């Protein structure tokens, strides 16, 4: 179906949709649709047939049933903060954009069970706040937490800062409610820690990027509140040395270790250059830096514990220098540097980004090889290497020289992706650690994914989405 | 195919299997087959066509290909320690029993990546030991750890003692190698903490009880070694009070809380009565007891922390009495009581067992209701209620009066299952928290499982096991 070609069918669809969600649930004027049709990075520009905003699970079910019967493709969207174009429709004008933004109710908070039931359109920051109100903690934390939604976090299995300690979004979900492509509602909203009664459907929908169903609600795990923190910044002469520092912290501090955020000297320099009022935390030059944070539920001697570990690190030569935060404002300054990398990259020019994961034990060798491969391509390329080192997740980005045209940027992107992802594949890593596949990595997935796994994924897609209406052109 | 009816086909199959695994890989004499054909509880007695024991993934693949082409059903078996008859063949003499006992290699230990790659037939205790050798910890811990295998632990998503802190087996796996029903090998042995490149096939196979494929190897997560422990025993007047004690511990000790094992006064009495040299830890009568354990990577003041929490518990009336372990031998004595429940049940007579899970916040009300329902059936029934309370997992068992015949036991089993599981269903719980469905709960699954979920499960089974040869008669 195409809006231009089949105005009658479109008219029929819109009137049926309006019957389901009411006029307040439809957005059809082009100027109003634009914010939904374009991703926030302005990298993908789509054109949906209509934006439909149901307010209840039943309405989502009726919308899906209608689209299923009419074989109308559906693109589900949460907060529209994705990095891979997974929630942006194509340009055909034929796809219905299903926004969950009105499904924003916190259905239940159960502190005794350490769980919370929320709808898919609830914003992450609101979940964090609701947990705090019952002296609990919801650990998912992302740059976009003020606008991304739980449904989107689940659909993309979001990662972020605290994966080292709490795992990915997948690890924070107990149950799901999902509307299937044909409109059936699967109520899997279990609030149980243990349930061995059959196949794990929950984890099949989590991370499926809207290609198998619509996640309308979820039961989330809550955790004990963290009341103490200790933060440090360290400098090391090599990735290998820094990895040994990580190992010491892991062994001695266990689950108190909540962040181990690495950045290369080049990444730090970029922040110092482009983010106003930012200062280097350490004197002297260090090839690699890391922001380390411990946290605990108990007002324990965390700072002393961190200090002891860092002293051991210096003694053994794992780190060359370190500072320990003595105030909240000092801590904020350090995190400002870490969080400033995104902004610095935008200001510095065009970055070709790689969101990759590797076994931690392979990071050192990989970085040596991949850095050499990038340097060999052109001396004008600038490597901005940083990431969640404790999870083996690097943002191995390459800053292109200024003044390139869009065709040159495209060519460089392909060349660099091939060089970096080829090596990631050799080291048995992942070409999308936390950002998802979406439109961005779809073609590359077919190159690097194990063929048997790809066959199984396609088989599941064909089976669960028989009319092939769920987010076509994404992921698979 | 039936052994008696089609001797030629059986002969053909055996000779082909021998070509694949060699004579050392086949067990066909009835007296040798018996230990595989009967479950360890002697509850299910099967009769396989042959037991085949491949030594490599390639051999498993060739065996599966052969069985697929001949439409021969296959029952995969690990350590044969299951509770639900999931690894016992039927009595037809037509099923091939695929034992992974020769696939027992630890392929790789990577301390820096906190991971280990092992074959499916490796015994759990060997994995625990291999982790210790590199100063790491593998937390899965079960009564059968000296004989159960990692493949079986994965196929049944095993639970056990440390779920409160570390989750189920599912949460300890990074990657899998699986032989599919048609013999294709899926190499999903990734050792990554983050990987968002498509559907989560790993979790589909974990917990599928051998009905979708054969798990031949896995990459497991390792954790920091725990170096300090603090253990206590508490008595409380109600389940509700005990739940509040749990909440205090969770809030203040966070992830140090590794066990919160509850038992009712009746369960404790049963141990004192039947296990030699066991003594009641506390003076006086308490309706409910709990064994509490904290553990940490750091030689911290754990005992003081536990003491402070228990003092708060007494002050607020959550517990009535408590003792704190002051020696290793005292700790062993307390755990001996907890672990003695299984033995005490066997000695006391016939128990109708219920391995159930509920939201923790529903435990109190459920136990009141379910206890009343059991009492109302007959005053001669004795309730043995204990379990992993921190996970909401109760072993809500009922000891039948002595001297009943097998027909009466069967009738009581059905009556009690209906009463207890009916209530579990009302409280949105699970009728199999950690033991799995197998043969034991297959019929009940159809009663209590959400119909949409059951449809999806059947669809997945039909799709992934087209010839319906994987462990027929189990789970679905």
Q: Are residues A217 and A300 in the same domain?
A: no
Q: How far is B381 from chain A (nearest CA, A)?
A: 27
Q: Which two tokens stand for residue B79?
A: 């350590």
CA separation for the pair B148, B46 (Å, rounded): 20
Tell me, what's the pLDDT at B68? 98
Task: Out of B347, B377, B409, pick the residue that ends a domain.
Answer: B347
Q: H or E segment at B241?
A: helix B239-253
- Structural domain contains residue B164: yes
Per the structure, the complete domain to which residue B390 belongs is given by 349-466
Query: Where is the domain boundary, A332, A348, A364?
Result: A348
CATH number of the CATH domain containing A40: 3.30.43.10
Q: Do A392 and B430 touch (CB under 8 A)?
A: no
CATH number of the domain bearing residue B280 = 3.30.70.2190
Same-domain pairing of A339 and A367: no
Q: Does B220 fall in a domain?
A: yes
Q: Which helix (H) or strand (E) holds A416?
A: helix A406-426
Residue B51 lies in a domain: yes
Question: How close A287 comes to chain B (CA, Å)?
Answer: 21
Q: Are the beta carbons of B192 and A430 separated by less than 8 Å? A: yes
| A343 and A429 together in one domain | no
3-state secondary structure of B242: helix
Establish if A391 touches chain B: CB-CB under 8 angstroms. Answer: yes
CB A153 within 8 A of CB A138: no
In which residue are the tokens 């909440």 written? B247
Do both A113 and A218 map to the same domain? Answer: yes
Same-domain status, B278 and B175: no
* CB within 8 Å of chain B, chain A residues 187-216: 187-188, 190-201, 203-204, 206-208, 212
Q: Which of A45, A29, A51 is nearest to A97 (CA)?
A: A51
Tell me the average pLDDT of chain B.
Answer: 96
The reply to whether B354 and B343 lie within a common domain is no
B314 and B332, same domain (yes or no): yes
Answer yes or no: do A392 and B357 touch at CB < 8 A: no
CA B339/CA A113 separation, integer angstroms: 26
User: Is A187 within the bounds of a domain?
Assistant: yes
- Clarify whether residues B343 and B292 are in a common domain: yes
Q: Which residues of chain A carry a pLDDT beneath 50?
A: 1
Establish if A370 belongs to a structural domain: yes
Q: What is the pLDDT of residue B26?
A: 97
Residues A71 and A174 in one domain: no
Share of chain B above pLDDT 70, in %: 99
Partners of residue B167 in chain A, C-beta under 8 Å: 171
pLDDT (0 to 100) of residue A1:
47
Q: Give helix B239-253 / helix B363-377 axis angle, nearest 10°.
A: 150
Report the C-alpha gap between B195 and A232 in whole angstroms.
28
Residues of chain B found within 8 Å of residue A428, distances taken between Cβ atoms: 190-191
A238 and A301 in one domain?
A: yes
Q: Are B415 and B327 found together in one domain?
A: no
Q: Which member of A196, A208, A392 has the closest CB to residue B192?
A: A392
CA quadruple A183, A187, A188, A189: dihedral sign: positive
Residue B232 has pLDDT above 50, yes or no: yes
Nearest-5° Cα angle at A318, A315 to A324 = 75
User: Between the CA of residue A249 and those of A244, A258, A310, A357, B256, what are the distances in Å?
Assistant: 9, 10, 8, 21, 17
Round to whole Å and give the CA distance between B97 and B84: 17
Suggest the residue from A140, A196, A202, A204 to mutate for an interface test with chain B (most B CBs closer than 10 A).
A196
Nearest Cα residue to B358 out of B429, B425, B422 = B429
What is the least distance, in Å, from the CA of B175 to any CA of chain A? 12
B199–A208: do the CB atoms touch at under 8 Å?
yes
DSSP-based three-state secondary structure for A331: helix
**B459: CATH:** 3.30.70.2740
Choose one of B208, B224, B240: the last residue of a domain.
B224
Would the pLDDT of B3 be above 80? no
Whether A87 and A168 map to the same domain: the answer is: no
Chain B residues whose beta carbon lies within 8 Å of the beta carbon of residue A361: 110, 112-113
Domain at A143, CATH number: 3.30.465.10
Find how far residue A462's CA is from the centre of its chain. 26
pLDDT tens readout for residues A238-282: 999 999 999 999 999 999 999 999 999 999 999 999 999 999 999
The answer as to whether B471 is a domain residue is no
Residues from chain A that touch B440, judged by Cβ atoms under 8 A, are none
Question: Rounded to an integer, what distance in angstroms lies between the CA atom of residue B99 and that of residue B79?
Answer: 9
Number of domains in chain A: 4
Question: Closest by alpha carbon to A249, among A361, A333, A164?
Answer: A164
A102 CB within 8 Å of a chain B CB: no
> pLDDT tens digits for B106-141?
999 999 999 999 999 999 999 999 999 999 999 999
What pLDDT, in 10s, does the model give residues B438-462? 999 999 999 999 999 999 999 999 9
* pLDDT level of residue B1 (50, 70, 90 thresholds): very low
Residue A404: inside a domain, yes or no?
yes
Q: Which of residues 132-151 of A touch B (CB under 8 A)?
A: 135
Residue A289 lies in a domain: yes
Which residue in chain B has the smallest CA separation from A430?
B195
């Amino acid at each position: 179906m195409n809006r231009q070609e089949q105005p009658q069918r479109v008219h029929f669809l819109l009137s049926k949709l309006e019957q389901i969600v009411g006029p307040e649930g439809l957005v059809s004027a082009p100027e109003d649709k634009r914010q939904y049709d374009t991703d926030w990075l302005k990298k993908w520009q789509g054109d949906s047939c209509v934006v439909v905003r149901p307010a209840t699970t039943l309405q989502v079910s009726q919308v899906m049933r209608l689209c299923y019967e009419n074989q109308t493709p559906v693109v589900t969207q949460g907060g529209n903060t994705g990095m891979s174009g997974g929630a942006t429709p194509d340009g055909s004008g034929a796809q219905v954009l299903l926004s969950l933004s009105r499904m924003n109710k916190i259905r239940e908070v159960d502190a005794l069970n350490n769980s919370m039931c929320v709808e898919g359109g609830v914003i992450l920051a609101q979940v964090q706040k609701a947990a705090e109100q019952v002296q609990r903690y919801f650990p998912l934390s992302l740059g976009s937490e003020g606008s991304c939604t739980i449904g989107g976090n689940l659909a993309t299995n979001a990662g972020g800062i605290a994966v080292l300690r709490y795992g990915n979004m997948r690890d924070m979900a107990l149950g799901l409610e999902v509307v299937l492509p044909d409109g059936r509602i699967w109520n899997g909203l279990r609030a149980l820690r243990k349930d061995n009664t059959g196949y794990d459907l929950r984890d099949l929908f989590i991370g499926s990027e809207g290609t198998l169903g619509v996640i309308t609600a979820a039961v989330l795990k809550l955790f004990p509140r963290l009341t103490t923190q200790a933060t440090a910044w360290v400098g090391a002469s090599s990735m290998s040395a820094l990895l040994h520092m990580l190992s010491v912290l892991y062994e001695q501090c266990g689950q108190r270790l909540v962040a181990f955020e690495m950045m290369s000297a080049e990444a730090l320099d970029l922040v110092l250059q482009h983010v106003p009022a930012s200062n280097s935390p350490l004197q002297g030059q260090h090839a690699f830096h890391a922001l380390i944070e411990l946290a605990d539920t108990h007002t324990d001697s965390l700072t002393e514990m961190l200090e002891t570990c860092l002293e051991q690190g210096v003694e053994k030569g794992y780190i060359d220098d370190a500072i320990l935060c003595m105030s909240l404002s000092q801590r904020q300054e350090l995190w400002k540097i870490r969080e400033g990398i995104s902004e610095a990259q935008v200001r510095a020019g065009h970055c070709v980004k790689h969101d990759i994961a590797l076994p931690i034990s392979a990071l050192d060798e990989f970085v040596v090889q991949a850095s050499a491969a990038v340097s060999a391509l052109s001396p004008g390329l600038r490597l901005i290497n940083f990431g969640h080192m404790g999870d083996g997740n690097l943002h191995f980005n390459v800053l292109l020289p200024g003044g390139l045209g869009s065709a040159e940027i495209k060519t460089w992107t392909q060349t660099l992706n091939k060089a970096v992802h080829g090596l990631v594949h050799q080291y048995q890593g992942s070409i999308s650690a936390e950002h998802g596949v979406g439109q961005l990595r779809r073609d590359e997935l077919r190159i690097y994914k194990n063929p048997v796994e790809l066959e199984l994924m396609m088989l599941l897609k064909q089976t669960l989405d028989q009319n092939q209406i769920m987010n076509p052109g994404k992921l698979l």
